[in-house]
Chains A and B, each alone.
Chain A
Amino acid sequence: MKHLTSIRELDTGSAIAILDNADELGAVNSREVKKLPALRGKTVVNLFYENSTRTRISFEIAAKRLSADVINFAAATSSVSKGESLKDTAQTLEALGADATVIRHPMSGAAQTLATKGWISGSVVNAGDGSHEHPTQALLDALTIRQIKKSGNDLAGIKVLIVGDIQHSRVARSNVLLLSLLGAEVTLAGPETLLPKTFAAMGCKISHSFEEALAEKPDVVMMLRVQRERMQGTFFPSEREYAAKWSLSGERFKMLGKDTTILHPGPMNRGFEISNEAADDPRSAVLTQVRNGLSVRMAVLYKLMAGEG
């Protein structure tokens, strides 16, 4: 495996192998000397066309813990604003020694294009492309669920509810593909305008009522942010109306089971899609997600770059 641009590139076995590896590599993060020599002499470029401090930092630390050198290239402050193409930027960075490119891009398919066009020879990791995919986020979510639910290798029979702006969410797409690959039962919930029925073809259930979806007793509830930056025009009447129907708060929060895990890919909008009481509840695993993000990204970089094919 040379690239990771979509969960479609994984099968059940390779996905489980990444999670197992992440568990092992994650152990180093609690050591006093948090470093392994696995990628010494290799260079990872973080090529970010969208602002995302948390994902960029996560990839940066993951690469450094494996002893790789890291170059951060933020497109907003670079030659891209002078009109340089993705092709030229990526080729320039490779000429400077990049062995792998971690790309975040506002356009769907940009990571796959970079991996397949023949512009560069190194590995490509998709750190989020438009509304398409964010595979390492799905892997860290799967790892978090597997750890908390102690479900063994995979996620067989675990019921996961993903709620909110599904239409614009690459996190939702990658999670539907990966969690169902691992045997979980995924339900998507959101208003009709943000959750077209075409999502069902990806292998999940669809609900347009948060209450009805909660009544199914999900083991995991993942809340998503409303992505205003990807919206053209109006998708719901007001924030107040959205929060009234789709926020994890009040009566809906009370509907959660005592072992229901709350996830959120961040950044959270407290008081909008999630309440303080939900975000700060002991059942919330958002910080475990962040920690697991590091382990998963170490595992992915190791798999793609350490030459085990």
Chain B
Amino acid sequence: MQVFKGVSLASGETTDITLEGANVTKVGKTTESGLDCSGLMALPGFVDLHTHLRQPGYEASETVLSGSRSGAAGGYTALFAMANSDPVADTASVVEQVMKLGEEAGLLEVRPIGAVTKGLAGTELSALGLMANSKAKVKVFSDDGHCVHDPLVMQRALTYVKGLGAVIAQHAQEPRLTEGSQMNSGELSTELGLKGWPSVAEESIIARDALLAEQVGARLHICHLTTAGAVDVVRWAKARGIQITAEVTPHHLMLTEELVRSYDPVYKVNPPLRRMEDTLALREALIDGTIDIIGTDHAPHSSEKKDCEWEQAAFGMVGLEHAASVAQEVLIEPGASDWRRFSEVMSSKPAEIGSLEGHGTIAEGQPANLVLIDPAGSRTADAVTHSLSSNNPFAGMELKGRVVHTIFRGKFSLRDGKVKNA
């Protein structure tokens, strides 16, 4: 038996949480002694619907184990692993392998995402049903990194995946409008001479797919919204009753295109960092519920892929160990929202979108997947995290809050800020 004494819940209540084995057995005051947690918030363990674990294929950048360690350090108890590995996760054997690697690491639940199309090529459907029926029980499909741009392929995929009770997570990027694109399109891209990435390339695909989802009656999830216009389109689609959910990354909530002036590839990401007005619109949408979740798009890259000219560099940045601080900065610090909303966007809603059981709640009889954070703490972010890669745009920034303990299935995966050795 393990008791966490004097924790604060998202509701504001101060209480004790008792675990026995892998489950929570009591949420309420108890006379049993335990770990003094006064001043700490106890929240359901975080769930990331958008992580690149890079295994199989890119083990120099990240492995399922190193990504799990980074996740545990960030307060996560479940990660959805994107399909753009090598080989691509477009068959049952690959998704089962990824799931098995996650179980071996044992620090959190690794849920493989299946590719929508074979080899992420956007033309033929991958083994959607076989992946859904495999031991990995895939419930989320995505070609992330690539857009399912062919409208007919997208329509078929939405129809087929609906029958599997799963969801498609779309990387909204019209490919012709973004050929060779390097950064947000606007005054700054003009001055820097870098090919612009127009916001319409994102917004037009979201609008199209919302209408396709409406037509076939399917669920649709939009990865990493980045523009004020995209927020408007999602708001319109929700008002129309379309089953659409939307995600925002920590970096698009905190960082803007001005950073690209340095030509430092650590700020190169797909979709690109946008203008301050976009960032403010994303924050507002996260608060008002237009955007449903924070997904990290944790995209580790080995230093070779970033230690070069901007145009040569890979797209992507890490994020698992900073997301909670960003959520606190956006939702809590300005008094704009509350810890219930924080817990929704970081845990219960991504679990719901991904049809993930046993996460997103702290309740008696449920698996003990929870995180304890010190919201009064702060730290200066280091470039080096538990990830194998250090393409960290938050390096050097003063961040609010600190993840103290992460508990996965009743056991510490992070204790006093230290990741358990697997």
Contacts and interface: CB of A to CB of B under 8 A. Distances in A.
Contact of B310 (A85, A87, A109): A109
B311 interface: yes
B179 A108 contact: no
A232 B309 contact: no
A168 to B, nearest CB: 8
Contacts of A202: 187, 190-191
Contacts of A110: 309-310
Contacts of B180: 232
Majority SS at the chain B contact face: loop
A86 B311 CA distance: 12
Contacts of A107: 309-312
Nearest to B185: A198
Contacts of A133: 193
Nearest to A199: B190
Contact of B193 (A86, A117, A129, A233): A129
A116 interface: yes
Contacts of A129: 193
Contacts of A198: 186-187, 189-190
Interface in B290-310: 307-310
A289 to B, nearest CB: 22
Contact of A131 (B186, B193, B263): B193
Contacts of A199: 190
Contacts, number: 67
Contacts of B263: 108-109, 112-113, 116
A64 interface: no
A108 B194 contact: yes
A109 B309 contact: yes
Contact of A116 (B182, B191, B262): B262
Nearest to B191: A202
Interface string A144-182: 000000000000000000000000001001000000000
A130 B311 contact: yes
Interface string B170-188: 0000000001101000110
Given A86-B308, A108-B311, A109-B309, A170 B193 contact: yes
Given A109-B263, A113-B263, A232-B180, A87 B190 contact: no
B383 interface: no
Given A116-B262, A198-B186, A105 B309 contact: yes
A87 B307 contact: yes
Nearest to B313: A113
A105 B263 CA distance: 14
Interface in A71-130: 85-87, 105, 107-110, 112-113, 116-117, 129-130
B397 interface: no
Given A85-B308, A86-B309, A87-B308, A109 B187 contact: no
Contacts of B307: 85, 87, 117
A235 B264 CA distance: 30
A108 B312 CA distance: 11
Contacts of A108: 182, 192-194, 263, 310-311
Most buried by B among A107, A110, A116, A232: A107
A285 B412 CA distance: 76
Contact of B311 (A85, A109, A117, A233): A109
Contacts of B309: 86, 105, 107, 109-110, 113
Contacts of B310: 107-110, 113
A170 B190 CA distance: 10
A196 interface: yes
Interface in A228-243: 232-233
A189 to B, nearest CB: 16
Nearest to B311: A107
A97 B311 CA distance: 28
9 contacts: A85-B307, A108-B193, A109-B193, A109-B310, A113-B263, A129-B193, A130-B194, A130-B311, A198-B190
Interface of B: 179-180, 182, 186-187, 189-194, 262-264, 307-312
Given A109-B311, A130-B193, A202-B187, 6 more contacts: A108-B192, A109-B192, A109-B194, A113-B309, A198-B186, A201-B190
Among all A-B residue pairs, the 6 with the closest Cβ atoms: A132-B193, A109-B263, A131-B193, A108-B193, A201-B187, A198-B190
